[in-house]
Structure 1
Amino acid sequence: MAVNKKKYGVFLYILSLIYGTIILFRNLLFDFNILTSKEFSVPIISIGNITVGGTGKTPHAEYIVRLLKSEFRVATLSRGYKRKSRGYIEVETDSKVIVVGDEPLQIKNNNPDITVSVDENRVYGIKNILSDKGKNIQTIILDDAFQHRYVKPGLSILLIDFNRQLKDDHLLPYGDLREKEKSKIRANIIIITKMPNEIKPIERRILEKDLRLYPFQNLYFTIIKYKNPVIIFHGKTSAINYSFTKNKYDILLITGIANPAELIKHVKKFSLSITHLAFKDHYYFKEKDFNKILNTFNNINNNNKILITTEKDMYRLRDTQLCKLIENIPAFYIPIEIDFLYNDKNRFNKQIVEYVRKNKPISSIYS
Structure 2
Amino acid sequence: MKLLRYIFFPIVPIYYAITWLRNKGFDLGVLSSKSYNFPVICVGNLSVGGTGKTPMIEYLIRLLKHDYKVATLSRGYKRKSDGFQLGNAQANADVLGDEPFQFYSKFKDDITVAVDANRQEGIAKLCELNPQPEVILLDDAYQHRKVQAGFNILLTTYSDLYPNDFMLPTGNLREPKSGANRAQLIVVTKCPEGISESEKLHIVNAINPKLHQQVFFSWVSYAKQVVSKQNTLLLEQLPEFTLITGIANPKPLFQFLIEKDLRFKHLNFKDHHHFTSEELQQFESLDLIVTTEKDYMRLMQYPQLASKLYYLSIEAVIDRSSVFNAAVQNFVAQY
TM-score range, shorter chain: over 0.9
CA distance 1:23–1:352, change in 2 (3 Å): same
Counterpart of 2:52 in structure 1 is: 56
Contact 1:248–1:271 (CA under 8 A) maintained in structure 2: no
The residue type paired with residue 263 of structure 1 is L
Identify if the C-alpha distance between structure 1 residues 286 and 42 changes in structure 2 by more than 3 Å, giving closer, same or farther.
Answer: same
Q: Does the 8 Å contact 1:47/1:145 carry over to 2?
A: yes
Change (3 A) 1:233 1:136: closer
Determine which of 305, 310, 327 is the counterpart of 1:326: 305
1:251 maps to a residue whose letter is F
1:303-337 deviation line (CA, Å, top 9, x unaligned): xxx32100000010112xxx2343343x3101111
5+ residue gaps, structure 2: none
The one-character-per-residue Cα deviations of 1:60-119 (angstroms, maximum 9, x if unpaired) are 111111111111111110111111222111112540211110111101111112111001
For 2:169, the equivalent position in structure 1 comes to: 173
Amino acid at match of 2:85: I
Q: CA contact under 8 A between 2:224 and 2:234: conserved in structure 1?
A: no
SS in structure 1 of the partner of residue 279 of structure 2: helix
Cα distance in 2 between the residues matched to 1:50 and 1:102: 22
Is 1:278 paired with 2:268? yes
Q: 1:218 Cα deviation (Å)?
A: 1.1
Evaluate the alpha carbon distance shift between residue 43 and residue 9 of structure 1 in structure 2; reply closer, same or farther with a 3 A threshold: closer
Instruction: Report the aligned-residue RMSD.
Output: 1.6
Residues in 2 aligned to 1:221 and 1:58: alpha-carbon distance in whole angstroms: 16
Q: Equivalent residue for 2:326?
A: 350
**Corresponding position of 2:71:** 75
Which residue identity does 1:293 align to in structure 2? F
Q: Distance in 2 between matches of 1:262 and 1:94?
A: 33
Q: CA deviation at 1:189?
A: 0.6
Aligned positions of 1:285-304 closer than 5 A: 285-295=275-285, 297=286
Match of 1:337 among 303, 310, 315: 315
What is the CA-CA distance between 1:216 and the residue it aligns to?
0.5
Residue correspondence of structure 1 range 157-168 to structure 2 within 5 A: 157-168=153-164
Tell me the alpha carbon deviations over residues 151-200 of structure 1, each in whole angstroms, 9 at most, x when there is no partner. 11111000010111112211111111111212100101100111111122
Q: Report if aligned partners of 1:59, 1:337 keep a CA contact under 8 Å in 2.
A: yes
The equivalent of 1:128 in structure 2 is 125
- Percent identity, aligned pairs only, is 36
- The code of the aligned residue for 1:355 comes to F
Note if contact 2:68-2:134 (Cα within 8 Å) is conserved in structure 1.
Answer: yes
The aligned runs of 1:138-287 (5 Å cut-off) are 138-234=134-230, 238-239=231-232, 242-245=233-236, 247=237, 249-287=239-277
Cα distance in 1 for partners of 2:123, 2:219 equals: 31
Verify the 8 A CA contact 2:226 2:290 in the aligned structure 1: no
Which moves more between the two structures, 122-131 or 220-229? 220-229
Partner of 1:313: 295
Following superposition, the deviation at residue 271 of structure 1 comes to: 4.3
* Contact 2:247 2:269 survives alignment (8 Å): yes
Cα contact 1:91–1:100 (8 A) shared by 2: yes
**Deviation for aligned residue 1:120:** 0.5
Match of 1:28 in 2: 24
Residues 216-238 of structure 1 show CA distances to partners (whole Å, capped at 9, x for unaligned) of 0011111110113333342xxx4
Return the index of the structure with the highest Cα Rg.
1
Call closer, same or farther: CA 1:287–1:43 in 2, change over 3 Å: same
Change in 2 beyond 3 A, CA 1:93/1:144: farther
Measured at CA, do residues 92 and 355 of structure 1 come closer, stay the same or move farther in structure 2, by a change above 3 Å? same
Give aligned pairs, total: 334
What SS does structure 2 have at the residue aligned with 1:277? Answer: strand
Deviation (angstroms), 1:18: 2.1
SS at match of 2:235: coil
Q: Distance in 1 between matches of 2:271 and 2:145?
A: 24
Distance 1:154 1:272, change over 3 A: closer
TM-score (norm 1): 0.87
Pair 1:233–1:69, CA change in 2 (3 A): closer
Distance in 2, matches of 1:47 and 1:9, equals: 27
- SS of match in other structure, 1:141: strand
